[in-house]
Amino acid sequence: MTKYFAGETAVERIGAGLLDRSLPKSEWTHAAHFAAALWLLRRHGEAETAQRMPGLIRAYNEAVGGVNSDTEGYHETITQASIGEAARFLATRPPAEPLHVVVDQLMASPLGDRDWPLAYWSKDRLFSVAARRGWVAPDVAPLPQA
């Protein structure tokens, strides 16, 4: 299994780097998105993470020179689906399991594939302006239930 982060300090660095916008853009990877989500979920739970993460990602994108537009940057449907799936995955793990281990296991699951949302949404629907701006329900298959 691939090791994405060497230990808890590395996961903490991702989460804190998102919060204070200090994480280098090159390190904001697919695994880092999930590491930050898991880190926030452990600290704040699903409801608060779902509420906070959009603003955190938008601010981070702008801080590293990105934009949040109809075609790039923040994507509401992918973010909210990812938080829900990360929370569902985290609920299957022992509460004291180190997050760097949880990230490795999550990334070894189907969620580790950047295209995992396409199992639930058609490409046209997922990459629509409506899905980027707000929640759009899946049109291919329902998301797994918690």
Q: H or E stretch including 50?
A: helix 30-63
Instruction: Give me the residue spans of the domains in the chain.
Output: 8-133
Residue 146 in this model has a pLDDT that exceeds 80: no
pLDDT-based confidence at residue 1 (cuts at 50, 70, 90): confident
Please state, for a pLDDT cut of 90, what percent of the chain lies above it.
98
Residue-averaged pLDDT of the chain: 97
Written as one string, the DSSP assignment of 56-94 is HHHHHHHHTT----SSSS--HHHHHHHHHHHHHHHHTS-
Cα atoms found within 13 Å of the Cα of residue 126, Cβ hemisphere only? 17
Q: How far is CA 100 from the centre of its chain?
A: 15
Residue 45 in this model has a pLDDT that exceeds 70: yes
**Both structure tokens of 16:** 């804190």
**Could you tell me if 106 and 82 are in contact, meaning their C-beta atoms sit under 8 angstroms apart?**
no
pLDDT for 46-74, tens place per residue? 999 999 999 999 999 999 999 999 999 99
pLDDT-based confidence at residue 99 (cuts at 50, 70, 90): very high
